[in-house]
Structure 1
Protein backbone atom coordinates (compact mmCIF):
# COMPACT_ATOMS: atom_id res chain seq x y z
CA UNK A 1 0.00 0.00 0.00
CA UNK A 2 1.35 3.40 -0.96
CA UNK A 3 2.24 5.86 1.78
CA UNK A 4 2.81 8.76 -0.62
CA UNK A 5 0.15 11.45 -0.25
CA UNK A 6 0.17 13.83 -3.19
CA UNK A 7 -0.71 17.10 -1.39
CA UNK A 8 2.43 16.71 0.75
CA UNK A 9 4.94 15.79 -1.96
CA UNK A 10 8.43 17.28 -1.98
CA UNK A 11 8.91 16.55 -5.71
CA UNK A 12 6.47 16.85 -8.60
CA UNK A 13 8.22 16.76 -11.97
CA UNK A 14 7.06 15.83 -15.47
CA UNK A 15 9.88 14.43 -17.62
CA UNK A 16 9.31 14.68 -21.39
CA UNK A 17 10.24 11.75 -23.63
CA UNK A 18 13.96 11.74 -24.37
CA UNK A 19 14.73 13.86 -21.31
CA UNK A 20 15.98 12.79 -17.90
CA UNK A 21 16.49 13.68 -14.26
CA UNK A 22 18.90 13.18 -11.38
CA UNK A 23 16.97 12.99 -8.11
CA UNK A 24 18.41 12.87 -4.59
CA UNK A 25 16.18 10.69 -2.41
CA UNK A 26 17.03 10.55 1.31
CA UNK A 27 16.87 7.31 3.27
CA UNK A 28 13.23 6.49 3.93
CA UNK A 29 12.04 8.74 1.12
CA UNK A 30 9.49 7.51 -1.39
CA UNK A 31 9.77 8.10 -5.14
CA UNK A 32 6.81 7.34 -7.40
CA UNK A 33 7.28 7.03 -11.17
CA UNK A 34 4.00 7.44 -13.05
CA UNK A 35 3.46 6.15 -16.59
CA UNK A 36 1.16 8.99 -17.70
CA UNK A 37 0.03 7.66 -21.07
CA UNK A 38 0.99 3.98 -20.85
CA UNK A 39 3.72 1.73 -22.28
CA UNK A 40 6.58 4.17 -21.68
CA UNK A 41 9.93 2.68 -20.63
CA UNK A 42 11.74 4.59 -17.87
CA UNK A 43 15.42 3.61 -17.71
CA UNK A 44 16.69 4.01 -14.16
CA UNK A 45 20.00 3.70 -12.30
CA UNK A 46 20.52 3.87 -8.52
CA UNK A 47 23.63 5.04 -6.67
CA UNK A 48 24.58 5.41 -3.02
CA UNK A 49 24.53 9.20 -2.70
CA UNK A 50 27.74 9.13 -0.62
CA UNK A 51 29.65 6.62 -2.75
CA UNK A 52 28.60 6.37 -6.40
CA UNK A 53 30.84 3.32 -6.85
CA UNK A 54 28.23 1.52 -4.75
CA UNK A 55 25.60 1.29 -7.48
CA UNK A 56 22.71 -0.84 -8.66
CA UNK A 57 23.58 -4.31 -9.89
CA UNK A 58 20.99 -6.09 -12.03
CA UNK A 59 23.04 -9.30 -11.81
CA UNK A 60 23.09 -9.37 -8.01
CA UNK A 61 19.46 -8.26 -7.70
CA UNK A 62 18.25 -11.06 -9.99
CA UNK A 63 20.54 -13.73 -8.47
CA UNK A 64 19.85 -13.00 -4.81
CA UNK A 65 16.07 -13.03 -5.27
CA UNK A 66 15.91 -15.75 -7.94
CA UNK A 67 13.54 -13.56 -9.96
CA UNK A 68 14.23 -12.08 -13.37
CA UNK A 69 11.44 -9.47 -13.14
CA UNK A 70 10.92 -6.73 -10.57
CA UNK A 71 7.71 -5.90 -8.73
CA UNK A 72 6.37 -5.14 -5.23
CA UNK A 73 8.78 -6.44 -2.61
CA UNK A 74 11.82 -6.56 -4.89
CA UNK A 75 14.99 -5.46 -3.12
CA UNK A 76 17.23 -3.42 -5.41
CA UNK A 77 20.80 -4.37 -4.54
CA UNK A 78 24.25 -2.99 -5.28
CA UNK A 79 27.26 -5.01 -6.39
CA UNK A 80 28.26 -5.08 -2.72
CA UNK A 81 24.86 -6.62 -1.88
CA UNK A 82 23.80 -3.47 -0.07
CA UNK A 83 20.08 -2.77 -0.27
CA UNK A 84 19.64 0.52 -2.11
CA UNK A 85 15.84 0.58 -2.27
CA UNK A 86 12.74 -1.60 -2.16
CA UNK A 87 9.78 -1.53 -4.55
CA UNK A 88 7.01 -0.89 -2.04
CA UNK A 89 4.08 -0.34 -4.41
CA UNK A 90 3.51 -1.31 -8.03
CA UNK A 91 0.33 -1.05 -10.10
CA UNK A 92 1.99 -2.35 -13.28
CA UNK A 93 3.09 -5.73 -11.95
CA UNK A 94 6.33 -6.44 -13.77
CA UNK A 95 9.46 -4.50 -14.75
CA UNK A 96 12.57 -5.44 -16.73
CA UNK A 97 16.18 -5.33 -15.56
CA UNK A 98 17.94 -7.42 -18.22
CA UNK A 99 17.22 -5.52 -21.45
CA UNK A 100 19.69 -2.69 -20.81
CA UNK A 101 19.55 0.91 -22.00
CA UNK A 102 19.49 1.97 -25.63
CA UNK A 103 22.65 3.59 -27.03
CA UNK A 104 23.52 5.01 -30.41
CA UNK A 105 25.94 2.13 -31.00
CA UNK A 106 23.43 -0.60 -30.15
CA UNK A 107 20.76 1.15 -32.23
CA UNK A 108 23.03 0.88 -35.29
CA UNK A 109 23.68 -2.83 -34.66
CA UNK A 110 20.03 -3.66 -34.09
CA UNK A 111 18.22 -1.31 -36.45
CA UNK A 112 20.66 -0.01 -39.04
CA UNK A 113 23.01 2.85 -39.85
CA UNK A 114 20.12 5.32 -40.31
CA UNK A 115 19.58 5.29 -36.50
CA UNK A 116 23.13 6.36 -35.62
CA UNK A 117 22.25 9.94 -34.69
CA UNK A 118 19.01 9.22 -32.88
CA UNK A 119 19.09 10.27 -29.23
CA UNK A 120 19.39 7.36 -26.78
CA UNK A 121 19.21 6.69 -23.05
CA UNK A 122 22.97 6.38 -22.64
CA UNK A 123 23.41 10.00 -23.74
CA UNK A 124 20.74 11.12 -21.28
CA UNK A 125 22.41 9.22 -18.44
CA UNK A 126 25.75 10.87 -19.17
CA UNK A 127 24.28 14.36 -19.44
CA UNK A 128 22.29 14.21 -16.19
CA UNK A 129 24.87 12.16 -14.30
CA UNK A 130 27.76 14.55 -15.02
CA UNK A 131 27.04 16.99 -12.14
CA UNK A 132 27.37 14.08 -9.70
CA UNK A 133 30.57 12.82 -11.32
CA UNK A 134 28.78 9.88 -12.94
CA UNK A 135 30.56 9.03 -16.20
CA UNK A 136 30.80 6.19 -18.70
CA UNK A 137 32.54 3.81 -16.28
CA UNK A 138 29.71 4.29 -13.79
CA UNK A 139 26.90 3.16 -16.11
CA UNK A 140 25.87 -0.44 -15.50
CA UNK A 141 22.83 -2.54 -16.32
CA UNK A 142 19.77 -0.52 -15.45
CA UNK A 143 16.14 -1.03 -14.52
CA UNK A 144 13.58 -0.49 -17.28
CA UNK A 145 10.42 0.39 -15.41
CA UNK A 146 7.22 -0.46 -17.34
CA UNK A 147 9.22 -2.21 -20.08
CA UNK A 148 8.23 -5.70 -21.22
CA UNK A 149 11.17 -7.98 -22.11
CA UNK A 150 9.97 -11.61 -22.06
CA UNK A 151 12.67 -14.18 -21.30
CA UNK A 152 12.12 -17.60 -22.88
CA UNK A 153 13.11 -21.02 -21.52
CA UNK A 154 16.41 -20.91 -23.42
CA UNK A 155 17.38 -17.56 -21.92
CA UNK A 156 16.58 -15.57 -25.05
CA UNK A 157 14.81 -12.24 -24.78
CA UNK A 158 12.97 -9.79 -26.99
CA UNK A 159 11.54 -6.30 -26.69
CA UNK A 160 7.77 -6.66 -26.67
CA UNK A 161 4.70 -4.48 -26.37
CA UNK A 162 4.31 -3.07 -22.86
CA UNK A 163 2.09 -4.35 -20.06
CA UNK A 164 1.52 -0.94 -18.49
CA UNK A 165 -1.37 1.48 -18.99
CA UNK A 166 -2.09 5.20 -18.42
CA UNK A 167 -1.67 6.22 -14.79
CA UNK A 168 0.04 3.08 -13.57
CA UNK A 169 3.00 3.64 -11.29
CA UNK A 170 5.83 2.09 -9.34
CA UNK A 171 7.11 3.32 -5.97
CA UNK A 172 10.58 2.97 -4.51
CA UNK A 173 11.42 3.47 -0.85
CA UNK A 174 15.08 4.38 -0.37
CA UNK A 175 17.01 2.19 2.05
CA UNK A 176 19.85 4.75 2.18
CA UNK A 177 20.50 8.19 0.72
CA UNK A 178 20.25 7.69 -3.03
CA UNK A 179 20.93 9.33 -6.35
CA UNK A 180 18.30 8.16 -8.83
CA UNK A 181 19.34 8.72 -12.45
CA UNK A 182 16.48 8.54 -14.94
CA UNK A 183 16.22 8.54 -18.72
CA UNK A 184 12.69 8.70 -20.11
CA UNK A 185 13.42 6.47 -23.08
CA UNK A 186 13.27 8.03 -26.59
CA UNK A 187 13.45 4.68 -28.43
CA UNK A 188 11.45 4.66 -31.68
CA UNK A 189 12.70 1.41 -33.22
CA UNK A 190 11.01 -1.21 -31.05
CA UNK A 191 7.66 -1.39 -29.21
CA UNK A 192 9.04 -0.68 -25.70
CA UNK A 193 7.42 2.79 -25.87
CA UNK A 194 4.47 1.75 -28.00
CA UNK A 195 6.31 3.34 -30.98
CA UNK A 196 5.43 6.73 -29.46
CA UNK A 197 7.53 7.98 -26.50
CA UNK A 198 5.47 9.93 -23.96
CA UNK A 199 6.10 11.89 -20.72
CA UNK A 200 6.27 10.44 -17.22
CA UNK A 201 5.71 12.07 -13.84
CA UNK A 202 7.95 11.82 -10.79
CA UNK A 203 6.45 12.33 -7.33
CA UNK A 204 8.50 12.22 -4.15
CA UNK A 205 7.97 12.50 -0.41
CA UNK A 206 11.11 12.70 1.69
CA UNK A 207 9.66 12.62 5.22
CA UNK A 208 6.65 11.14 6.99
Structure 2
Protein backbone atom coordinates (compact mmCIF):
# COMPACT_ATOMS: atom_id res chain seq x y z
CA UNK A 1 0.00 0.00 0.00
CA UNK A 2 1.26 3.47 -0.83
CA UNK A 3 1.79 5.66 2.22
CA UNK A 4 0.21 8.54 0.27
CA UNK A 5 -3.15 6.73 0.52
CA UNK A 6 -3.14 6.44 4.30
CA UNK A 7 -5.98 7.93 6.34
CA UNK A 8 -3.38 8.87 8.93
CA UNK A 9 0.13 7.87 9.96
CA UNK A 10 1.97 8.23 13.27
CA UNK A 11 5.01 6.86 15.10
CA UNK A 12 4.93 5.11 18.47
CA UNK A 13 8.32 5.33 20.24
CA UNK A 14 9.89 2.35 21.96
CA UNK A 15 8.61 1.42 25.45
CA UNK A 16 5.26 3.08 24.74
CA UNK A 17 1.64 1.93 24.48
CA UNK A 18 -1.41 2.91 22.43
CA UNK A 19 -4.92 1.83 21.52
CA UNK A 20 -7.52 2.62 18.88
CA UNK A 21 -10.75 1.25 17.46
CA UNK A 22 -10.22 -0.04 13.95
CA UNK A 23 -13.35 -0.08 11.81
CA UNK A 24 -14.44 -3.02 9.69
CA UNK A 25 -12.93 -2.63 6.22
CA UNK A 26 -9.77 -0.83 7.28
CA UNK A 27 -6.13 -1.95 7.34
CA UNK A 28 -3.59 -1.29 10.07
CA UNK A 29 -0.05 -1.19 8.66
CA UNK A 30 2.85 -1.43 11.12
CA UNK A 31 6.43 -0.70 10.05
CA UNK A 32 9.60 -1.57 11.97
CA UNK A 33 11.63 1.63 11.51
CA UNK A 34 15.04 0.52 12.82
CA UNK A 35 14.93 -3.29 12.92
CA UNK A 36 14.43 -5.43 16.01
CA UNK A 37 11.07 -3.95 17.00
CA UNK A 38 8.40 -5.76 19.01
CA UNK A 39 4.68 -4.97 19.13
CA UNK A 40 2.68 -6.84 21.79
CA UNK A 41 -0.96 -6.67 20.72
CA UNK A 42 -4.44 -7.61 22.00
CA UNK A 43 -7.91 -7.29 20.45
CA UNK A 44 -11.38 -6.70 21.95
CA UNK A 45 -14.90 -6.19 20.61
CA UNK A 46 -15.60 -2.52 21.41
CA UNK A 47 -19.34 -3.18 21.73
CA UNK A 48 -18.83 -6.19 24.03
CA UNK A 49 -15.49 -6.05 25.84
CA UNK A 50 -16.01 -9.58 27.16
CA UNK A 51 -15.20 -10.78 23.64
CA UNK A 52 -11.46 -10.75 23.09
CA UNK A 53 -8.61 -12.36 21.15
CA UNK A 54 -8.25 -16.10 21.74
CA UNK A 55 -4.78 -17.47 21.00
CA UNK A 56 -5.55 -21.21 21.43
CA UNK A 57 -8.53 -21.10 19.06
CA UNK A 58 -6.56 -19.03 16.53
CA UNK A 59 -3.73 -21.57 16.46
CA UNK A 60 -5.60 -24.84 16.63
CA UNK A 61 -8.24 -24.01 14.01
CA UNK A 62 -5.48 -23.08 11.54
CA UNK A 63 -3.17 -25.95 12.55
CA UNK A 64 -0.17 -23.71 13.25
CA UNK A 65 2.25 -22.61 15.98
CA UNK A 66 3.24 -19.38 14.25
CA UNK A 67 1.14 -16.76 12.49
CA UNK A 68 1.92 -14.99 9.22
CA UNK A 69 0.35 -13.85 5.93
CA UNK A 70 -2.89 -15.71 5.19
CA UNK A 71 -3.87 -16.37 8.81
CA UNK A 72 -6.87 -14.97 10.68
CA UNK A 73 -7.01 -13.77 14.29
CA UNK A 74 -10.04 -15.12 16.14
CA UNK A 75 -12.10 -13.98 19.09
CA UNK A 76 -13.25 -16.35 21.83
CA UNK A 77 -16.72 -16.21 20.23
CA UNK A 78 -15.63 -17.58 16.86
CA UNK A 79 -15.43 -14.28 15.01
CA UNK A 80 -12.51 -13.10 12.89
CA UNK A 81 -11.18 -9.83 14.31
CA UNK A 82 -8.72 -9.36 11.47
CA UNK A 83 -6.69 -11.08 8.78
CA UNK A 84 -2.93 -10.91 8.27
CA UNK A 85 -2.64 -9.72 4.69
CA UNK A 86 1.08 -8.93 4.81
CA UNK A 87 3.93 -10.10 7.02
CA UNK A 88 7.42 -9.35 5.75
CA UNK A 89 8.96 -11.23 8.71
CA UNK A 90 7.26 -14.59 7.98
CA UNK A 91 6.72 -15.43 11.66
CA UNK A 92 4.72 -13.74 14.44
CA UNK A 93 5.26 -15.05 17.97
CA UNK A 94 2.05 -16.31 19.58
CA UNK A 95 3.11 -17.93 22.84
CA UNK A 96 5.67 -15.94 24.86
CA UNK A 97 3.49 -13.17 26.29
CA UNK A 98 5.05 -10.03 27.76
CA UNK A 99 7.69 -9.24 30.39
CA UNK A 100 6.71 -7.88 33.81
CA UNK A 101 8.53 -5.25 35.89
CA UNK A 102 10.70 -7.78 37.73
CA UNK A 103 11.87 -9.47 34.54
CA UNK A 104 12.80 -6.14 32.96
CA UNK A 105 14.61 -5.02 36.14
CA UNK A 106 16.55 -8.29 36.36
CA UNK A 107 17.59 -8.05 32.71
CA UNK A 108 18.20 -4.34 32.18
CA UNK A 109 18.22 -2.72 35.63
CA UNK A 110 15.71 -0.53 37.41
CA UNK A 111 14.55 2.83 36.14
CA UNK A 112 11.46 4.88 36.80
CA UNK A 113 9.64 7.61 34.94
CA UNK A 114 10.24 10.22 37.64
CA UNK A 115 14.02 9.95 37.24
CA UNK A 116 14.37 8.92 33.60
CA UNK A 117 11.30 10.36 31.85
CA UNK A 118 10.87 8.87 28.37
CA UNK A 119 14.00 6.73 28.71
CA UNK A 120 12.53 4.66 31.53
CA UNK A 121 12.38 0.91 31.07
CA UNK A 122 8.67 0.18 30.83
CA UNK A 123 7.54 -3.46 30.72
CA UNK A 124 4.91 -4.92 28.42
CA UNK A 125 2.62 -6.20 31.16
CA UNK A 126 2.23 -2.85 32.91
CA UNK A 127 2.01 -1.04 29.58
CA UNK A 128 -0.95 -3.19 28.49
CA UNK A 129 -2.58 -2.78 31.90
CA UNK A 130 -2.38 1.01 31.66
CA UNK A 131 -3.90 0.94 28.19
CA UNK A 132 -6.81 -1.44 28.90
CA UNK A 133 -7.65 0.52 32.06
CA UNK A 134 -8.86 3.32 29.77
CA UNK A 135 -11.76 1.00 28.86
CA UNK A 136 -12.54 -0.25 32.36
CA UNK A 137 -10.54 -3.45 31.95
CA UNK A 138 -7.93 -4.94 34.27
CA UNK A 139 -5.56 -7.84 34.96
CA UNK A 140 -8.09 -10.58 34.33
CA UNK A 141 -8.80 -9.12 30.89
CA UNK A 142 -5.23 -9.56 29.59
CA UNK A 143 -5.40 -12.63 27.36
CA UNK A 144 -2.42 -14.26 25.66
CA UNK A 145 -1.06 -11.66 23.24
CA UNK A 146 0.70 -11.58 19.89
CA UNK A 147 4.28 -10.33 19.50
CA UNK A 148 4.53 -8.83 16.04
CA UNK A 149 8.03 -8.55 14.49
CA UNK A 150 9.30 -11.22 16.91
CA UNK A 151 9.88 -14.95 16.47
CA UNK A 152 10.69 -17.69 18.96
CA UNK A 153 11.70 -21.01 17.42
CA UNK A 154 12.36 -24.46 18.84
CA UNK A 155 15.23 -26.89 18.29
CA UNK A 156 14.94 -30.66 17.86
CA UNK A 157 14.45 -31.25 21.61
CA UNK A 158 11.85 -28.52 22.02
CA UNK A 159 13.94 -25.77 23.63
CA UNK A 160 12.71 -22.31 22.65
CA UNK A 161 15.11 -19.59 21.53
CA UNK A 162 14.56 -15.97 20.56
CA UNK A 163 15.29 -15.34 16.87
CA UNK A 164 17.70 -12.39 16.83
CA UNK A 165 17.65 -9.97 13.87
CA UNK A 166 14.30 -11.47 12.85
CA UNK A 167 12.76 -8.17 11.76
CA UNK A 168 14.71 -5.76 9.58
CA UNK A 169 14.35 -2.00 9.21
CA UNK A 170 11.43 -1.35 6.86
CA UNK A 171 9.66 -4.66 7.45
CA UNK A 172 5.88 -4.26 7.51
CA UNK A 173 2.89 -6.18 8.84
CA UNK A 174 -0.64 -5.36 7.67
CA UNK A 175 -3.84 -6.39 9.44
CA UNK A 176 -7.18 -6.10 7.63
CA UNK A 177 -10.08 -5.76 10.06
CA UNK A 178 -13.14 -7.90 9.42
CA UNK A 179 -15.17 -6.33 12.27
CA UNK A 180 -14.91 -3.23 14.43
CA UNK A 181 -12.06 -4.02 16.84
CA UNK A 182 -10.43 -2.32 19.79
CA UNK A 183 -6.67 -2.74 19.26
CA UNK A 184 -4.34 -2.39 22.27
CA UNK A 185 -0.58 -2.56 21.82
CA UNK A 186 2.80 -1.74 23.32
CA UNK A 187 6.27 -1.35 21.83
CA UNK A 188 8.08 -2.73 24.89
CA UNK A 189 10.72 -5.40 24.15
CA UNK A 190 9.94 -9.09 23.81
CA UNK A 191 10.39 -10.97 27.13
CA UNK A 192 13.09 -13.22 25.62
CA UNK A 193 15.08 -10.46 23.89
CA UNK A 194 18.74 -11.00 24.93
CA UNK A 195 19.90 -7.46 24.09
CA UNK A 196 22.53 -6.09 26.47
CA UNK A 197 20.89 -2.66 26.56
CA UNK A 198 17.14 -2.05 26.81
CA UNK A 199 15.96 -1.77 23.18
CA UNK A 200 13.93 1.37 22.46
CA UNK A 201 12.53 0.47 19.03
CA UNK A 202 9.96 2.81 17.40
CA UNK A 203 7.17 1.58 15.14
CA UNK A 204 5.24 3.54 12.53
CA UNK A 205 1.55 2.78 12.09
CA UNK A 206 -0.79 3.81 9.30
CA UNK A 207 -4.50 3.26 8.67
CA UNK A 208 -5.93 2.60 5.20
CA UNK A 209 -9.20 1.70 3.56
CA UNK A 210 -9.18 -2.01 2.65
CA UNK A 211 -10.00 -3.46 -0.74
CA UNK A 212 -13.29 -5.44 -0.80
CA UNK A 213 -12.95 -9.07 0.24
CA UNK A 214 -12.59 -11.29 -2.83
CA UNK A 215 -13.92 -14.84 -3.07
CA UNK A 216 -10.37 -16.16 -3.57
CA UNK A 217 -8.83 -14.10 -0.75
CA UNK A 218 -5.98 -16.18 0.78
CA UNK A 219 -7.10 -15.49 4.35
CA UNK A 220 -10.59 -16.73 3.51
CA UNK A 221 -9.50 -19.82 1.59
CA UNK A 222 -6.31 -20.94 3.41
CA UNK A 223 -8.30 -23.09 5.82
CA UNK A 224 -11.84 -24.49 5.74
CA UNK A 225 -12.20 -23.19 9.30
CA UNK A 226 -11.58 -19.64 8.10
CA UNK A 227 -14.54 -19.88 5.77
CA UNK A 228 -16.69 -20.68 8.80
CA UNK A 229 -15.12 -17.78 10.69
CA UNK A 230 -16.03 -15.32 7.95
CA UNK A 231 -19.56 -16.78 7.86
CA UNK A 232 -19.80 -16.17 11.62
CA UNK A 233 -18.83 -12.56 10.95
CA UNK A 234 -21.45 -12.25 8.21
CA UNK A 235 -24.17 -13.46 10.56
CA UNK A 236 -22.89 -11.20 13.35
CA UNK A 237 -23.06 -8.11 11.15
CA UNK A 238 -26.43 -9.13 9.69
CA UNK A 239 -27.89 -9.43 13.20
CA UNK A 240 -26.38 -6.08 14.25
CA UNK A 241 -27.88 -4.32 11.22
CA UNK A 242 -31.38 -5.37 12.30
CA UNK A 243 -31.12 -3.99 15.84
Out of 125-134 and 38-47, give the one that drifted further. 125-134
Q: Tell me the matched-pair count.
A: 203
The aligned counterpart of 2:123 is 120
Stretches of structure 2 lacking an aligned partner (at least 5 in a row): 113-120, 212-243
Give the distance between the partners of 2:60 and 2:129, measured in 1 at CA.
Answer: 27
The aligned counterpart of 1:13 is 10
- 1:186 positional shift: 4.0
More helix by share: 2
Out of 183-192 and 26-35, give the one that drifted further. 183-192
Give the distance between the partners of 1:175 and 1:196, measured in 2 at CA.
Answer: 33
> Which has the higher Rg, Structure 1 or Structure 2?
2
Give the distance between the partners of 1:156 and 1:62, measured in 2 at CA.
Answer: 20
Stretches of structure 1 lacking an aligned partner (at least 5 in a row): none
Give the distance between the partners of 2:110 and 2:192, measured in 1 at CA.
Answer: 9
Give the distance between the partners of 2:144 and 2:32, measured in 1 at CA.
Answer: 21
The CA RMSD measured in Å over matched residues stands at: 2.5
Native 8 Å contact 1:37 1:166 kept in 2? yes
Give the distance between the partners of 2:10 and 2:132, measured in 1 at CA.
Answer: 17
The aligned counterpart of 2:53 is 56
TM-score by length of 1: 0.87
Q: Secondary structure at the match of 1:150?
A: strand
Corresponding position: 1:184 with 2:187: yes
TM-score by length of 2: 0.75
Native 8 Å contact 2:122 2:188 kept in 1? no
The aligned counterpart of 1:47 is 44
Native 8 Å contact 2:69 2:90 kept in 1? yes
